[in-house]
Amino acid sequence: MCGIVGYVGRSEAAPILLDGLRRLEYRGYDSAGVAIIAGDQLETRKCAGRIADLGKLIGKDTPVGTYGISHTRWATHGKATDQNAHPHFDASGKLALVHNGVIENYQALKDDMLREGNHVFVSETDTEVLAHLIGKIYDSSGANGSTPPQNSKSRLVAAVRAALQQVIGTYGIALVHRDIPDFLVGARRGSPLVLGVGKDENFLASDVSAIVAYTRDAVYLNDFDVVAVERDKFEISSVAGEGGKYEVSKVEFTDEDIKKGDYPHYMLKEIYEQPGSVRDAMRGRLSHEECTAKLGGLEMTAAELRDVRRIVLTGCGTALHAARIGEYIIEQLAGVPTEVEFASEFRHRNTPMTRDTLVFAISQSGETADTLGALRESRRKGYRALGICNNVASTIARESDGGVYMHAGPEIGVAATKSFTSQVTIMALIGLLLGRMRHLSTSEGSAIIDALEALPAQIEETLKLTDQVRAIAKKYASVNGMLFFGRQFNYPIALEAALKLKEITYLFAEGHPSAELKHGIIALVRPDLPSVFIAPDDAVFSKNMNNIEQVKARKGPVIAITSGACGERLANIADDIITIPSAPEFVTPVLSVIPLQLLAYHLAVELGRDVDKPRNLAKSVTVE
C-alpha cells in the first residue's frame, strides 16, 4: 500500500526514482510524485493518476540532482488530487516528506500549529501535518544558513525523532532538506521500510523489489528505527535516540524474477508459476521415512506440539480463505479443534483463549496491518504465535515465535494466486505433522505425502484447461455478476473465487456454502446470473447435485467444476463443465481454485480491466 523510493549517490536521481516507482505499481496507488535537490533548489513533480503521467511531467522538465525521494499514494486522507499527492512540505518549503501509513492524531497536531499562526496547509493529508511538525522543530532548534552541514544533519535527525515521539499512528517515511546536501532520513513504525546498500550510493524503499535492480544488499528496518543515509554510509538509531541494531541481508530474488517475461500480465504469469511454487512450499519438508512433515521453523518441540489443544488461524482476504481451508484440513488430519478469525476482529475483541492454544498469523507480505496486530495481541496475552508468510524479512516473520516460510517467490499481481495455493499447501503440511503425532498411521501418512507430491503435476494438467476457461469467459462476458457455491473443503474456494472476480473484474460476486442456497440466496437466481458450483467427486457430490438441480429449475445458468466420472452425471444439467484431476479431499482445493483464477483473469481481460492494478486496491495493506 503506497510506495516509497529514495536515492542518494552519484547518478542522476530522477530515472532511478521513477524506475523504482514503476516497480512498485503493483502495490496500488492513485497519484505519484518526486522531490529532487537540484543545486540550491528543491524540484518537485507530482500529479494524480498513473506513474506514466508523472513520467511525462518529468520528461518535459527533468530535475537534475543526485539525491531525492519519490512516492506513489493510495488515498487515505483527501481525494486523489495533484495537491494531495506526495511529497509534502514544511512551512519553509525546504523540507520534503513522503509517507506511508496513517497519523491518527494529525488533526490535533494541525490545530496546534494553526493556532501558532505561521502554518498554512495546502492539502487535506495527514502527511503534510507531519512535514510541518518536523520542519517546525528543525527550524526552532537553531538551524540556519551558517550552521555547519554535519550539525544540520544531526539536527534534522533529532527533529525527526522529536516529531515522531508526538505522533500516534503508523508511518514509513523518507525526507530530504534543501539545505542539507546528499542526505536522506527515513523512519518506520508499522509500515515497512528497507535500506538498500550500494557502492557510493544508498537507497530507501517500502519494498525491496523497487531497488533489487541496483543492489541486493538490504537492511530491513524495525519499528521505531530512524536511519540517516548518505552516499557512502548510514546510521541507524531509535526514535528514543538509542543505537540501532541491524543486519545486512542478501535479497533472495533477482531483478529477472520480478519481470513479466512473455506473459501479458503478472497475474497470468503467477497462475502458471503454481506448479513450481507449490513444489517449493513442500521442498525438504516431507519425510518418507517417518511418513510426516518436517517444519523446523515452528521452533516447537514434539512435546510442545503434542500439547496443542486448540488452533486459531487468522488473516485477511485471500489469506483468510486459505485459513478456512486449513481449518478443515487440520481438523480432519490431526483432530485438533481449529477456528478461523478475521484478523481485524480478532485483535479488537476479547476472545477466550486457553494456555494450550496455538495461533497462526497468515500473510503473503508479512506486513498486513490487521494480521500483524492480531499476532502482537496474541503474544501480548502470552500465547505462542507463529507466522506463515512469503517474506522472510517481514515484520510478521521477525516478530513471531516461529513459523513457515512459503517460498512462493515474488508475487506482483495485486490479486493473490500462487501465494494462496502455497498457503493451502502449508496448511496440509501442518495437518500432516500434527496428525502423525496423534492418530495417523504410517500408511495414512504415506498416502498424504503421495497426494501432496502429485500436486505439481496435477496443477500442470489443470492449467491446460485455460482455452476452455477462456471460451467460458467470453460466453459470460456480458453478465453483471456470478454466484459461487462449494461444500466442505471447497466452500472457502467459493469465497476465494468470488473475491478474485470482484477484485479484477469489478463485477458483483458472492461465495456461499452450497446448502445455503435455499436459505435466501436462491432469491437471486435468474437467467442472467450464472452460478458456479465447485462439485468434485467427493463425499458431498450428491448434495451439490441437488443444489445444482434447484438452480436449473429456476433457469439459472450453471458452470460446474468437477472431477473424475462426475462430469458424466453433470452433462445433462450443467451448462458448462470443467473437469480437474481427481485428488483426495484435502488437496482438491488447490486444483479447483486454478480454473476459477483463470476464469476471473480471462473475464477481466474480456472486459478491458487493468488486471495487475485493479482500481482502489493495494497489494500490501499496511493501514487499518
Catalytic residues: 2, 619
Give pairs for 40-47: CB < 8 Å, separation 24+.
Answer: 40/178, 41/178, 42/89, 42/93, 42/94, 42/96, 42/176, 42/178, 44/87, 44/89, 44/96, 46/82, 46/85, 46/86, 46/87, 47/82, 47/85
Strand, coil or helix: 393: coil
Burial class of residue 248 (count of CB atoms within 10 Å of its CB; 0-12, 13-18, 19+): exposed
The C-alpha atoms of residue 103 and residue 187 are separated, in whole angstroms, by 14
* Gap between the Cα atoms of 160 and 144, Å rounded: 17
DSSP, collapsed to helix, strand or coil, labels residue 616 as coil
**Contact (CB, 8 A) for 325 and 424:** yes
Q: Among positive and negative, which fits the CA dihedral 505, 508, 509, 514? A: negative
Q: Could you give the CA distance from residue 25 to residue 445 in angstroms, rounded to a whole number?
A: 43
Residue 104 · residue 181 · CB < 8 Å: no
Q: What's the sign of the alpha-carbon dihedral 602, 607, 609, 614?
A: negative
User: What amino acid occupies position 361?
Assistant: A
Grid coordinates of 374: 492480531
* Cβ 394 vs Cβ 367: under 8 Å: yes
What is the spatial distance between Cα 29 and Cα 265, in angstroms, rounded to a whole number? 18
Distance CA 473, CA 111 (A): 53
* CB count in 10 Å sphere of residue 451: 18
Name beta bridge partners: 44. 35
C-alpha count within 13 angstroms, C-beta hemisphere, residue 432: 30
Contacts 24+ apart (CB under 8 A), 346-350: 346/312, 346/314, 346/374, 346/377, 347/373, 347/374, 347/376, 347/377
Q: Which residues pair with 70 in a beta bridge?
A: 5, 34
Q: What does the alpha-carbon distance between residue 377 and residue 215 come to, in Å, rounded to a whole number? A: 35
